[in-house]
Amino acid sequence: MSISFWIELGLGILNSLNNIPTRMNRRNTLKALAAASVGTVALGYWAKDLTFIKDLMSNSFFKPSEQDLITSIADTIIPRGAYYGAVDLGVPVYLLGFFEKCQEKEEQDKLKLQLAALNMAANEKFNNDFVDCTTEQREQLLTEWSESKVEAEQDFFNLMKAETITGFRTTEEVMTNHYHYRVVPGHFLGCVDIHQPFVS
């Protein structure tokens, strides 16, 4: 924005201040200022929350098809039932972050190869991409990989299963409502009465 814009804006504000009546209703003015402040802060948080997951997914080094595949695997391992499923609690976002930020390049390359191999296996067996297979077909394929004699397939399944469970168990929903986790580990009683004298 040019400097002339800021000058015009400043002059406009000064002109509007000159047109304010000499008697202001202070209560109404304070209410309006408070509402504007709260609205501005709320709008900032609202916009941030809307874009957070979208930005995380779009900045990922995984292709959208790989992201969908990881989401489908997590959904197959912990599907939605009477309780929330992995997808409901955002486990795929955890998985994407974990694989991108916490794994070495060599492990990431292996993971991408196995994602492609799983998708190819789904196409060969069911004439569909893994994400388009039915729940039963996906379960069947993952069960086969869990019992596979090919070490890479079994390792891939074990990694996906372990990290999906870790991501699910450490969500706020599960930690607070299922495990009843509290941030404070216990109560500290600083002043307590001593009923028996210490014996040395």
Q: What is the pLDDT of residue 155?
A: 95
In a domain, 183, yes or no: no
In a domain, 135, yes or no: yes
Extract the runs of DSSP E, i.e. beta strands, from the chain: none
Average pLDDT over residues 181-189: 69
Tokens of 17: 């201040």
The better pLDDT of the pair 22, 117 is held by 117
**Domain range spanning residue 144?**
61-177
Please tell me the total count of domains within the chain: 1
Distance CA 9, CA 3 (A): 10
The better pLDDT of the pair 106, 6 is held by 106
All residues at 6 or more sequence positions from 151 whose CB lies less than 8 Å from its CB, including other chains? none
In a domain, 115, yes or no: yes
Q: What is the pLDDT of residue 12?
A: 59
pLDDT in tens, 115-130: 999 999 999 999 999 9
pLDDT band at residue 193 under the 50/70/90 scheme: confident
Integer CA distances (angstroms), 152 to 73, 76, 102, 107, 183, in order: 16, 20, 19, 11, 39
**pLDDT value at 52 more than 60:** no
In a domain, 184, yes or no: no
Integer CA distances (angstroms), 154 to 29, 32, 77, 115, 149, in order: 67, 62, 15, 13, 7
Q: What is the pLDDT of residue 126?
A: 95
pLDDT in tens, 61-91: 799 999 999 999 999 999 998 789 999 999 9
pLDDT in tens, 28-50: 766 666 666 655 655 555 555 55
In a domain, 169, yes or no: yes
In a domain, 84, yes or no: yes
In a domain, 171, yes or no: yes
- Which of 162-166's residues contact partners 24+ apart within 8 Å by CB, and which partners? 163/94, 163/95, 163/98, 163/99, 164/73, 164/74, 164/77, 164/78, 164/86, 164/91, 164/95, 165/77, 165/78
Q: What's the predicted TM-score (pTM) here?
A: 0.63
In a domain, 40, yes or no: no
**pLDDT value at 8 more than 70:** no
